[in-house]
Chain A
Amino acid sequence: MTARGPKANYKLGRKVAPYFYLSPSLLVVGLLMLLPMGMVITYSFQESAVLRPDTSFAGFKHYRAIFGDEVFWASLWHTLYFTIASVVAHMTIGLAFALMLNSDRISPMLRSVLRVLYILPWLFTQVIIAVIWRLLLDPNGVVNSILIDLGIIGSKVEWFSSVETALHAVTFANIWAGYPLFMVSLLAGLQGIPKDLYEAADIDGATGPQKLFFITIPQLMPIIVSISLLDFIWTMQVFPLIWLTTGGGPIYATEVLSTYTYKLAFSQYNLAQAAASAVTILLISIGLTLFYIRHQKAR
């Protein structure tokens, strides 16, 4: 490690040192990420795991059980609906807020105050978001009361406990909680667009919408794609928000892959089958991650 002495010694030090500095991180990655991933894959091929373990090889038994379970497929569709609707709405709202805040028609004072306030939903943890929306969407809550006054609904709606509305309600709560990531990133992106692009467009007599669709959005595209991918991966993994608002119910109307797996593991204590479900989620995540990394490298 010491760089004192001859040049050769210094060079050797430069060669060994990075591994020394990285060793604690590699230990964490190895013991707490790679090893557990190996374990979960092993569990999924065992007869049973962790509690009353039976390590005899079970082949694809647990995978067959999962792929033959209609609740698994329902969970997969709910996850896709929840995720795609959330990402699209996050992007749309984030872009709209970023464009409004970036406009030179508002005073700098108002802009900085609103910027702080618009980010607020992002600060709250999912547990608290769940509590807030359970309060707002309670059958006797303020949302029903306002909607009845406005004549939009005729009677109290049980947003989280009726099969027709529950999935939309949790998705809406998640939309509310997640748009600021897009907003902040796009706001930073907007400030990086060269001004002369707009000046040139003005000379050519371009209209506002033309500038939006032919300059602003194409310029923001790398950020939009990159954040959408990350948001997609993270939204797919959402657990507390759904667990604490609907618990996957009513019946299994809001069951998503994470709640489905959790119940297999910690309500039914079938950890081997839960492992098979967890590995399936892992494979989907790895696919998306490879896509994300390729995109990041291309930038």
Chain B
Amino acid sequence: MARRNTRREKLITLALHVGLFAGLFFAAFPIYWMLASSFKTNGEIFALPPTILPKIFTFEAYAAILTDPVKLRFFFNSYLVAAVVTILTVFIALLAAYGFSRFTFRGKAALSTLIISTQTLPPITLLIPFFGLVVSYGLFDTYAALVLTYLVFTLPYAILLMTGYLNTLPRDLDEAVAVDGGSSWTALWRVIVPISVPGIVATSVYTFLLCWNEFLFALTLTKSTDMRTVPIGIQLLMGQHAFEWNQMMAMSVLGSLPLLVIYLIAQRYFLAGMAAGSVK
């Protein structure tokens, strides 16, 4: 456009950049503050005036957490539960997605609507019967209670994500296996799975994160410190009488690390997962 160099255009560009940096402050300052506080001494956290950079830069809070066996156990539990749920979810979802993507059958539309709608089930509504079930089957305060209940919110997304991915793969591939006399089961494992690795990775990443972040079920269905996960560990830190703010921040940073690492490495997969429930 010929108007590009006018004063007005320059003003618009300037305003845009001001807006962008205001947005950056809004988005990133709270996170920066958490990070900076995790390297401060507890006394400096609420110093007046606030210190933008830690005056005394210390790993004290991280050391306190990483040498405390109780807190390390929270991390172990979180990784374990998330890993087991991810494996189960991806396996079950892959089979279901294969069924949805490659077959026509009676009740298909109804089943897929059922699965989409289970995404919106309120966790608090399920929590009460889960509590009843977990208590009556003696699963209270066990890993099994968490693994089983986490499947409820991971599976619908995983099925949608995987079905979406399988639908992008050409059907000639598995039809070639059928022509050669192979079963659909053979086609799935010999042909579909090897080329679905990106879809499987995206689904795994998203499932892992959903589990890692879960709070309500872990709060209610476990009780002993041995069984608690990272989000509950952070809550327990908050419940103490003397607030160790720097430790709370360090624990939050450590608890966000898996997400940040996966996000920075696999941004594309991550956003695919995020949009799965919405753009479908």
| A145 contacts B by Cβ under 8 Å | yes
Taking the complex as formed, is A239 at the interface, i.e. its CB lies under 8 A from any CB of chain B?
Answer: yes
A residues 136-195 touching B (CB-CB < 8 Å)? 136, 138, 140-142, 145-146, 149, 176, 181, 184-185, 188
B184 at the interface (CB under 8 A from A): yes
Contact A185 B184 (CB under 8 A): no
Contact of B128 among A133, A185, A274 (CB under 8 A): A274
Report the separation of the CA atoms of residues A246 and B186 in the bound assembly, to the nearest whole angstrom.
55
A19-B152 CB under 8 A given contacts A120-B27, A135-B34: no
A22 near B23: Cβ-Cβ < 8 Å: no
Contact indicator A17/B30 (Cβ below 8 Å): no
Residue of A whose beta carbon sits closest to that of B262: A123
What distance in Å separates the Cβ of A23 from its nearest Cβ neighbour in chain B?
8
Q: Which residues of B contact A22 (CB under 8 A)?
A: 95-96, 99-100, 111
How many angstroms from the CA of A181 to the CA of B275 in the assembled complex? 8
Interface residue from B27, B125, B259 paired with A37 (Cβ < 8 Å): B125
Residue among B96, B148, B231 making CB contact with A24, cutoff 8 Å? B96
Is B125 a contact partner of A188 (Cβ separation < 8 A)? no
B194 CB within 8 Å of chain A: no
B256 within 8 Å of A (CB atoms): yes
A135-B245 contact, Cβ under 8 Å, with A3-B181, A22-B96, A293-B113: yes
The answer to whether A106 and B20 have CB atoms under 8 Å apart is yes
Whether the Cβ atoms of A25 and B132 lie closer than 8 Å is no
User: Is residue B142 within 8 Å, beta carbon to beta carbon, of the partner chain?
Assistant: no
Pair B184/A114 contact, Cβ less than 8 Å? no
4 interchain residue pairs of minimum CB distance: A21-B99, A125-B213, A36-B129, A18-B103
Assess whether A58 is interfacial by the CB under 8 Å rule: no
Residues of A within 8 A of B49 (CB): 145, 149
* B63 sits at the interface (CB 8 A): no
Q: Are A50 and B95 in contact (CB under 8 A)?
A: no
Q: Provided the pairs A25-B95, A131-B249, A142-B50 are in contact, do residues A105 and B27 lie with their beta carbons within 8 angstroms?
A: no
In whole angstroms, what is the CA distance A188 to B271 when docked? Answer: 11
Closest CB-CB distance, A212 to chain B, in whole Å?
Answer: 13
Q: Are B132 and A50 in contact (CB under 8 A)?
A: yes
A293–B120 Cα distance when bound, in Å, is 11
Q: Which of A131, A261, A288 has the most CB of B within 10 A?
A: A131
Please state if A127 and B245 are interface contacts (CB–CB under 8 Å): no
Is A50 within 8 A of B27, CB to CB?
no
Collect the chain A residues with CB atoms within 8 Å of residue B182's CB. 3
- CA gap between A37 and B127 in the complex, in Å: 10
Q: Which residue of A lies closest to B152 (CB)?
A: A32
A100 and B20 form a contact (CB under 8 A): yes
Residues of chain A within 8 A of B100, CB atoms compared: 18, 22
Question: In the bound complex, what is the Cα–Cα distance between A43 and B274 (angstroms)?
Answer: 35
13 further contact pairs, Cβ within 8 A, besides A184-B275, A278-B122: A1-B183, A15-B105, A37-B121, A114-B24, A121-B30, A125-B213, A128-B231, A142-B50, A181-B278, A223-B279, A227-B278, A266-B220, A293-B116
Interface check A240, CB cutoff 8 A = yes
Which of A13, A33, A142, A292 sits near B121, CB closer than 8 Å? A33
Chain A contacts to B: CB under 8 angstroms? 1-4, 10, 13-15, 17-22, 24-26, 28-29, 32-33, 35-37, 39-40, 43, 49-50, 96-97, 100, 103, 105-106, 110, 114, 116-128, 131-136, 138, 140-142, 145-146, 149, 176, 181, 184-185, 188, 202, 223, 226-227, 230, 233-234, 236-237, 239-240, 244, 257-258, 261-262, 265-266, 271, 274-275, 278-279, 281-282, 285-286, 288-290, 292-293, 296
Which residue of B is nearest A140, CB measured? B46
16 pairs, CB–CB < 8 Å, chain A vs chain B: A4-B183, A17-B99, A18-B108, A20-B99, A24-B95, A25-B155, A36-B129, A106-B16, A119-B263, A125-B259, A128-B252, A146-B50, A230-B278, A239-B216, A265-B131, A282-B125
- Specify the chain B residue showing the minimal Cβ separation from A32: B152
A239 touches B124 (CB 8 A): yes
A136 to B245: give the CA distance in the assembly, Å.
11
Determine whether the beta carbon of B151 is less than 8 Å from that of A32.
Answer: yes
Bound: A14/B171 CA distance, A: 15
Known interface pairs A125-B213, A125-B231, A141-B46. Does A184 touch B259 (Cβ–Cβ under 8 Å)? no
Nearest-neighbour CB distance to chain B for A58, whole angstroms, equals: 16
